[in-house]
């Protein structure tokens, strides 16, 4: 769960009674991590996670096809409503960055082709959302994912790639919640107007 239910959480729960299923993606050419969670009100529930690993001996085009087809199969199996993906980290090696960009494109195309919206989040934002610190390392992310999703933590198969993907899904759930509250909460002037109206009636 996100935490104790306050007034804003109760508002959110009232307007988000239906379960939303989110798939988070941690793109990579060698390993594409994925994680699926359900969001119902303020509650997060683990659904599944895994990794897609193309044969490194294949041509680049075939590896990208494996990523696309593998992720398509995952989406068709779990039927998520929305997708979220981590943005590409630009490192000192242009060739590696370009290949990672290819893998990320393949990962974005699979949900888009099946009609899912795809949100994008910087690694810094994901770490802040899940751990509370933008400089958190993978072990810290893994630890917090296990705490937020105990059923995922009980799985011996949970690796850093999969935990990162689940962290992206959790981040998207947090961002959806905040966007919903902001969109539906009255502005300060509106709130003051409502208070004055109630006082005048009383």
Q: How far is CA 4 from the centre of its chain?
A: 21
Query: Would you state the pLDDT for residue 63?
Result: 97
Active site residue 86: yes
Listed by start position, the domains of the chain span 7-201
26 an active-site residue? yes
**Tens digit of pLDDT for each residue in 163-185?**
999 999 999 999 987 777 676 65
Which one of 38, 82, 86, 164 is the catalytic residue? 86
Annotated binding site for Mg(2+): 26, 86, 161
C-alpha to C-alpha distance for 11 and 15, rounded to whole angstroms: 6
For 7-201, CATH gives 3.30.420.10
pLDDT tens, residue by residue, 72-82: 999 999 999 99
From 38, 82, 161, 164, the catalytic residue: 161
How distant is the alpha carbon of residue 190 from its chain centre? 33
pTM recorded for the entire structure: 0.80
Read off the pLDDT of each residue in 136-154 and give the average, rounded to a whole number: 90
| 9 classed as catalytic | no
């Amino acid at each position: 769960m996100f935490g104790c239910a306050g007034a804003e959480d109760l508002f959110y729960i009232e307007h988000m009674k239906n379960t939303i299923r989110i798939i988070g993606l941690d793109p990579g050419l060698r390993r594409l991590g994925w994680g699926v969670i359900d969001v119902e009100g303020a509650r997060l529930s683990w659904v599944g996670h895994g990794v897609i690993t193309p044969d490194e001996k294949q041509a680049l085009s075939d590896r990208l096809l494996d990523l696309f087809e593998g992720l398509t199969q995952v989406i068709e199996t779990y039927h998520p409503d929305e997708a979220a993906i981590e943005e590409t980290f630009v490192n000192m090696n242009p060739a590696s960055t370009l290949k990672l960009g290819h893998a990320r494109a393949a990962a974005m195309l699979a949900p888009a082709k099946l009609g899912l919206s795809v949100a994008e989040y910087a690694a810094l934002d994901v770490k802040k959302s899940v751990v509370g610190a933008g400089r958190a390392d993978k072990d810290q992310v893994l630890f917090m994912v296990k705490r937020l999703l105990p059923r995922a933590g009980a799985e011996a198969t949970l690796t850093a790639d999969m935990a990162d993907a689940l962290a992206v899904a959790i981040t998207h759930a947090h961002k959806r919640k905040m966007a919903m509250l902001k969109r539906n909460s009255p502005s300060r002037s509106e709130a003051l107007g409502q208070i004055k109206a109630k006082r005048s009636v009383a």
